[in-house]
């Protein structure tokens, strides 16, 4: 049984349409999978940043609430891990010697408190820093 030339052309054209549709679907599915992967990476990075922010805020609050400030640097390695790596927190307390208020008066006994977190992530060392100022006799009568 022979087919007519019109029906074989239609069958060939239909096969080409199906192949083209599958190719377009494959490209779209691949792009969607890549987008999902990047979204997951961005969510994990945001979670790590939030965790580091919480650690820095906690260390800064701890340093601010000390009754007597002492100049110097302290370093602590936390038990908490970020992305499988331990976090080291450095706290630097140093006096501010030339700080003035808006009237131009020199402010004495002011300290700068800087807290830095260091951790290894994605093949590189990462660092995040927070700082504030405090009057030395804030919690003294």
Q: Cβ distance 132 to 113 under 8 Å?
A: yes
Residue 107 lies in a domain: yes
pLDDT attached to residue 4: 59
Residue 67 lies in a domain: yes
Reported as a single tens digit per residue, the pLDDT across 10-51 is 767 888 899 999 999 999 999 999 999 999 999 998 998 899
pLDDT attached to residue 34: 98
Residue 140 lies in a domain: no
Residue 70 lies in a domain: yes
Instruction: Give Cα separations from 4 to 7, 14, 77 (angstroms).
Output: 6, 16, 81
Domain that holds residue 12: 5-135
Residue 79 lies in a domain: yes
This model's pTM is above 0.75: no
Residue 141 lies in a domain: no
pLDDT attached to residue 100: 81
Reported as a single tens digit per residue, the pLDDT across 121-140 is 878 889 999 999 998 877 76
Residue 123 lies in a domain: yes
> Domain total for the chain?
1
For residue 68, what is the domain's CATH number? 3.30.1300.30
pLDDT attached to residue 92: 95
């Amino acid at each position: 049984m022979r087919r007519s030339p019109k029906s074989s052309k239609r069958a060939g054209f239909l096969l080409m349409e199906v192949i083209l549709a599958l190719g377009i679907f494959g490209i779209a599915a691949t792009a969607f999978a890549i987008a999902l992967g990047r979204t997951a990476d961005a969510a994990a990075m945001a979670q790590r940043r939030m965790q580091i922010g919480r650690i820095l805020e906690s260390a800064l609050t701890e340093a601010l609430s000390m009754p007597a400030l002492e100049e110097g640097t302290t370093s602590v390695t936390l038990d908490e891990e970020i992305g499988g790596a331990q976090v080291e927190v450095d706290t630097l307390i140093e006096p501010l010697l030339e700080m003035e208020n808006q009237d131009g008066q020199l402010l004495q006994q002011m300290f700068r408190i800087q807290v830095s977190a260091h951790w290894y992530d994605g093949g590189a060392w990462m660092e995040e820093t927070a700082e504030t100022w405090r009057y030395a006799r804030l919690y003294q009568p």
